[in-house]
Amino acid sequence: EGKDKKLLVGNMDQTPIYFDMRRNTTYHYKGERSIKLIRTNGHKKRVTVCLAMLSDGSKLPPFIIFKGQNPPTNPCQKTCVVASNSNAWITESLMETWVLEIWRKMKIDEKFKKLLILDHCSSHRKDKIKDLIKEDSFLEYVPPGCTSLGQPLDLRINKIFKDKLREYYEEWISKLGLLKSNTTKNGNIKAPSSILVIKWINKAWSSIDADSIIASFKAAGKTHFNQK
């Protein structure tokens, strides 16, 4: 009890992911008078993905929030958690689920204590959530307006993650998305399925390497340090 313990720093952040992940730019031949923008019927459909990582380079399971009464079938039950609510956003109730089912269930070496870094999202600052986290962890909030400087996920990992998702989307749209069999009766392109989006999220998160995560914590000034 009297010995120093190292502090294992964690960071969780949520980011919206749209089912239509097309780029804002197009490629076409010089001189063309009309350009067709490829867009699916899911351009307004989105999920919220809560990503969490640790300063030793490890990752926690993605927490994916869909809109609706019931979440879709989860094809990656061993590596991600799927939930739903009326607006596909992180509410106090779902934040409690994240703390209990993901943060509190992670296994770490006994030589470490835990610190969780969160931004000032309202669901992060509810008294019940604070109390749950503080039962076994330290808690720190990034000052408002400073997430681009002090939140490791915002510094580089969120961009790497979304770039990966866009790669998977573009590969899908070029091979399967534009097939006639993937159009509605009105001729619109069908958006990728919820199951496919879950698989992409899981794959993209799995692809992010430990060195990038550690570098993000260092850039934010949040690394292992001794805590009495």
pLDDT at 109: 83
Q: What's the chain's average pLDDT?
A: 87
Q: Could you read off the pLDDT of 86-131 as tens digits, one per residue?
A: 999 999 999 999 999 999 999 888 888 999 999 999 999 999 999 9
In angstroms, the CA 75 to CA 200 distance is: 11
H or E element in which residue 225 lies:
none
What's the rounded mean pLDDT across residues 136-152? 86
Mean pLDDT of 189-214: 95
CA 219/CA 228 separation, integer angstroms: 24
**pLDDT exceeds 70 at position 28:** no
Residue 25, pLDDT above cutoff 80: no
Mean pLDDT across 27-43: 52
Model confidence at 43, in pLDDT bands (50, 70, 90)?
Answer: low
